[in-house]
C-alpha cells in the first residue's frame, strides 16, 4: 500500500509540473513581494499572480494637501489579485517622492494625512500601506507619523517599509518595530551617477551584508525581505539603465550572466538567473522573503527571474 501511495504522490507531482499547477513551497510563509509600476489597466503579462504573495503598487501619492485622487484601474486590479490570494498594498513615496511629504508628515498635518491614507486604503479595498520615504524625507517627524499610521492601519491591514542601509541611522528600533515586515533595497550600490565607480550595483556580498546589518538593528529574519533588482546599469556607455527583459531580448545568452560588454565599449551590470537563484537561496536561509523591483521589467517563460525565484523556493530543502 505504501508503494502505491508513493506512486500516486509522484504522479500528482508530475501532473502538476506538466499542467503548470503551482507546487507547495517548502516554506509556505515565505513572502514574494513584487512592486509594480506601470499602467494599472493594461498589466496583463506583466504581473504573474501565481508567483507572488504581495503586490505593492508604486507609487500612489497625494497632492500637496494630502488628498489622494482617483487611480484608474486599481479597484479591478485589487479584485483580480484577491482572486489569487495575493495581498495588495499601496506604496507611498518613492525614490523621487514629492518634497511636500515633509509637510504632510509634520506634527501639524500628520493626523489629517494619516486619516487620508486610511480612507484611500479602504476605498480600494487594499490590504495595507508600504512606506517608501527616503533621504531628507525621513525627518524628525517621521517616527511620530509612523506610530500614528500604525495605529490607524492595524490590526486590519499591513504596514510595511522599504529601506536602504545608508538611511539606517535615521530609523530607530522602536519605529522599525511598527512595521509588519521590511523590504531591504539591496541594490543601487553604484550606478551611472558614479561614473568612476563602475561595477555590479547589486552584488551577492551586498545582499549578505544588508541582511546581517538589519538583523543587528534588532529585526528578526522573519521580518526581512531581501530586495532583488530586475534591471541593470550601464557605465561608460550611452545606455544608462535597461530592464532585465530588454537585456535578454537584446543580447542572446545574457540570462546566464550578470555583466556584458556593450557595442559602444561600455559595460552593463545586472542580476541574471544564476545570481538571482543564489540570492533567493540566501533569503530562504536568512530572511522571511524576497522583494522585487520591479515586475514590469521581467520577461516570461523559463528565463523569467520571477519564474526562477519561485522554482528555487519550491525546490528548497533546508
Confidence of residue 26 (pLDDT cuts 50, 70, 90): low
Grid cell listed for 138? 525621513
- Pairwise CA distance, residues 256 & 275, whole Å: 9
Question: Is 170 within a domain?
Answer: yes
Residue 14 domain flag: no
The total of structural domains in the chain comes to 1
Nearest to 113 by CA among 172, 68, 175, 73: 68
Q: Does residue 183 belong to any structural domain of this protein?
A: yes
- The whole domain housing 60 covers 30-230+272-315
Is residue 65, in this structure, part of any structural domain at all?
Answer: yes
**Proportion of the chain above pLDDT 70, given as a percent:** 92
Element (H, E) at 4: helix 2-19
Please report the pLDDT score of residue 11 as a whole number: 44
Question: 34: domain CATH number?
Answer: 3.20.20.80
Asked whether the predicted pLDDT for residue 215 surpasses 50, the reply is yes
12 belongs to a structural domain: no
Q: Report the distance separating Cα 81 and Cα 73, nearest Å.
A: 12
Instruction: Evaluate whether residue 25 is within a structural domain.
Output: no
What interhelical angle do 273-286 and 204-216 show, nearest 10?
A: 20
**Residue 160, in any domain of the structure:** yes
Is 244 part of a structural domain of the chain?
no
Q: What is the per-residue pLDDT across 76-128, written as a single tens digit (0 to 9) for each? A: 999 999 999 999 999 999 999 999 999 999 999 999 999 999 999 999 999 99
| pLDDT tens, residue by residue, 259-314 | 999 999 999 999 999 999 999 999 999 999 999 999 999 999 999 999 999 999 99
Asked if residue 249 has a cis previous peptide bond (ω within 30° of 0), the answer is: no
**Single pTM value for the model:** 0.91
Q: Tell me which residue of 283, 272, 291 sits closest to 318, measured CA to CA.
A: 283
Q: How confident is the model at residue 129 (pLDDT cuts 50, 70, 90)?
A: very high
**What's the mean per-residue pLDDT of the chain?**
93
Amino acid at each position: 500500500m505504501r508503494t502505491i501511495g508513493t506512486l500516486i504522490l509522484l504522479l500528482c507531482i508530475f501532473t502538476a509540473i506538466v499542467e503548470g499547477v503551482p507546487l507547495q513551497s517548502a516554506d509556505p510563509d515565505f513572502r514574494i513581494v513584487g512592486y509594480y509600476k506601470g499602467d494599472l489597466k493594461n498589466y496583463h503579462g506583466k504581473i504573474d499572480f501565481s508567483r507572488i504573495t504581495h503586490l505593492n503598487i508604486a507609487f500612489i501619492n497625494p497632492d500637496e494637501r494630502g488628498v489622494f485622487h482617483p487611480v484608474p484601474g486599481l479597484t479591478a486590479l485589487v479584485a483580480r489579485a484577491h482572486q489569487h490570494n495575493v495581498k495588495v498594498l499601496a506604496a507611498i513615496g518613492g525614490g523621487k517622492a514629492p518634497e511636500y511629504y515633509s509637510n504632510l508628515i509634520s506634527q501639524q498635518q500628520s493626523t489629517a494625512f494619516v486619516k487620508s491614507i486610511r480612507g484611500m486604503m479602504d476605498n480600494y479595498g487594499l490590504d495595507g500601506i508600504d512606506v517608501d520615504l527616503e533621504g531628507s524625507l525621513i525627518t524628525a517627524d517621521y517616527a511620530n507619523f509612523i506610530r500614528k499610521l500604525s495605529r490607524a492601519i492595524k490590526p486590519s491591514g499591513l504596514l510595511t517599509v522599504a529601506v536602504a542601509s545608508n538611511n539606517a541611522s535615521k530609523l530607530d528600533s522602536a519605529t522599525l518595530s511598527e512595521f509588519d515586515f521590511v523590504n531591504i533595497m539591496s541594490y543601487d550600490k553604484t550606478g551611472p551617477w558614479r561614473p568612476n565607480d563602475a561595477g555590479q550595483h547589486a552584488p551577492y556580498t551586498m545582499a549578505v551584508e544588508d541582511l546581517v546589518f538589519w538583523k543587528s538593528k534588532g529585526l528578526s529574519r522573519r521580518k526581512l525581505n531581501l530586495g532583488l533588482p530586475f534591471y541593470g546599469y550601464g557605465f561608460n556607455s550611452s545606455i544608462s539603465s535597461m530592464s532585465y527583459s530588454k537585456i535578454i531580448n537584446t543580447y542572446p545568452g545574457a540570462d546566464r550572466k550578470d555583466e556584458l560588454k556593450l557595442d559602444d565599449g561600455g559595460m552593463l551590470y545586472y542580476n541574471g538567473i544564476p545570481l538571482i537563484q543564489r540570492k533567493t537561496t540566501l533569503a530562504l536561509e536568512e530572511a522571511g522573503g524576497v522583494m522585487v523591483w520591479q515586475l514590469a521589467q521581467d520577461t516570461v517563460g523559463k528565463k523569467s527571474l520571477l519564474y526562477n525565484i519561485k522554482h528555487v523556493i519550491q525546490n528548497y530543502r533546508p
